Structure 1
Amino acid sequence: MEYIQPRPSSIVAGLYTVRDLGVEVAILHGPSGCSFKHARLLEEDGLRVLTTSLGDNEFIFGGQAVLEKVLKYAEEEFKPKRMAVVGTCVSMIIGEDMEAAIEDSGIKTPTIAVDIHAGFRENIDGVIAALKPAADAGWISETELDRQKELLSAANMVERLRGAAYKPYVQPQRGDLKHLVAKRLVECIKSGQKGIAIMNAKKETAYMFADALTALKETCPDADIKYIANLSDRGLLKVRRDAKNIADGLKNAGVDALYIGALDEYGANGERLGEAIKELKPDFALIAGVPHAIPPEYLKGIEVFSVTNGPRQVEPLKEFGHTHVVVEVDLHPKTLGVKKIVPSEFGDVLRSFK
């Protein structure tokens, strides 16, 4: 038995990946309701998501003609620089040849076909399904494709070992009360303890997780705290752009952070961050983003304050020694379409202790 709880969709992962590749129009080749919520959210981030709205007739006779029509419409209406056709369970079951539809449509816009469906246990299959045709089209290098595969494998392993997939079912929780956690964090600082504040966040979620660091600096500007963030300049187009925006925001807030890892390296960053913790020997650690990436042996004897956005992440974090865990439940909708650090609930609560 793998999981008996809902897991991220490989179709949605494909959509997010084409966005990161600079695609301006994505066409979901399937029913109009497929991945509806995420499609709408991604439009907040500048990606136009269209659908071929396949119905009973296309289920029987095929939907290539409909796809060709939507491709032509998208090119004429939006004049995008890049497009992608993203498959669904329906297009897979009826055997649609999306590459043939792209070619037969006669469009001139560079367009890739992401041959994916939701029948994968791991959503990273959707990412790879988007990256492979992107490499074939010359949008990314083979070296970057190999790098991405390694990072995805590492992230997947972290989820299986210490994340929301560490057992078949994890009970969702809202975490500890933010005002009590913030109060305790400030108490540690006022008592003269040495600390480390780490942001190890996944891609655009860093726009809110970075606020934990800026709020800490604002609240306790003279504290003995070392700041670290995964903002190195590596990754796909949007990932690098987001890293620069967030780095600028941290600097403007007076946070002098050491960069360890990139925004797409959150899953592979644990050992490097662990070594930094080991070298500093802090009394406490604030870890925002993907705290469970850091192996628990590096956190022994340290009071750990963790900020996550996953209600199913609370239980494993507590089990692996994280003293305090708070959850930013509404993070995803608030970090789409933004270009600067977004205030977080925990950050605002922390600021109230200034």
Structure 2
Amino acid sequence: MKLLDRYIGQAVIVGVFSVLAVLVALFALIGFVDELDQLGRGSYTLWHALLYTLLNTPRQMYEIFPMATLLGTMLGLGMLANNRELVVMRTAGLSLTRIVWAIMKTAAMLILLAMVIGEVIAPPVYEYSNQKRLELMGAKISLNTRYGLWARDGDTYINVRRVDSQSKLRGIHLYTFDGQRMQTVMRARSAHYDGEQWSLKNVTRYDIDDQALQTNKVDDLPWRTLLDPALINVVSVDPDTLPIWRLYNYIDYLRENGLDSGQYELAIWGKAVMPLTLAAMVLLAVPFVFGAQRHTGIGQQILIGFLIGIVFYIGNRLAGQMGLVYEFPPALAAALPTALVIGASLLWFRRLR
């Protein structure tokens, strides 16, 4: 029986890695073409664009792993079904539950691999490649995923704690020096770009001299800076690219400073739910293949599986954003699509039995 488990598992693994290789290559090609627009900025060359694209493949691999798991499991089981091997197994007395158990043991290894890629390999590699890209382009910005982004504008050092969009920033700190001496500190709750310049909101300014510390507060203050929206779009970090432990620390920081942490809570719950999502994709593929093997070919199964994967990806993103807009609990917004897939798979599986 262990030999049969390995045989089924091998078919699933070959299918998953075949699909993963094709999808990663496709997304890498698209990403490389996008990078060609950046050639010529600073010392950024074609070789650097290629290297940046290659270093981004672990992050892309993690993002598309659920779809690759669904399609790969369908492909592996579909090949067994087309060769009538699944029919022989069932005729020999192997129950559908036993076949599913063999597949889920393989899924456990795939889940472990996805977690290593997403939490150990992808975050530092992505952070390194992004920082090197900025340096080569000559951008005067240093990115720190825990403490926001830093920039220098003459004698002023700028720290932005959170980037909501190209035209909206939160938690801005400006430190102005006169030689080695700090001259002023300004803190603004937010900043908005009106198409021509930035405007700081809820500003507190501290003027430092040898005698006293003077404090002034204003509601609105124009801000001229090198941080144009296009550059901010380049350096802003997607919460999904951070490992869980950094997300956890950053959420603590946001809460302590009275800032909205919903986007980062959604990201951390999405990562926590990822193992269940991968298991759900495998579970969905099993009844689909067994239920459709008499009516559809493997090509049709792959096409339908691809469409299901796209719908799930869009639905998962949509559920997360709707959760932020309507202030649903982040855990519910992150887990709802996966829970629906698991429920539908179990109902379908029950009908097959």
TM-score, normalised on structure 1?
A: 0.28
TM-score, normalised on structure 2?
A: 0.28
Greater C-alpha Rg: 2
| Structure richer in helix, relative to its length | 2
| Structure richer in strand, relative to its length | 2
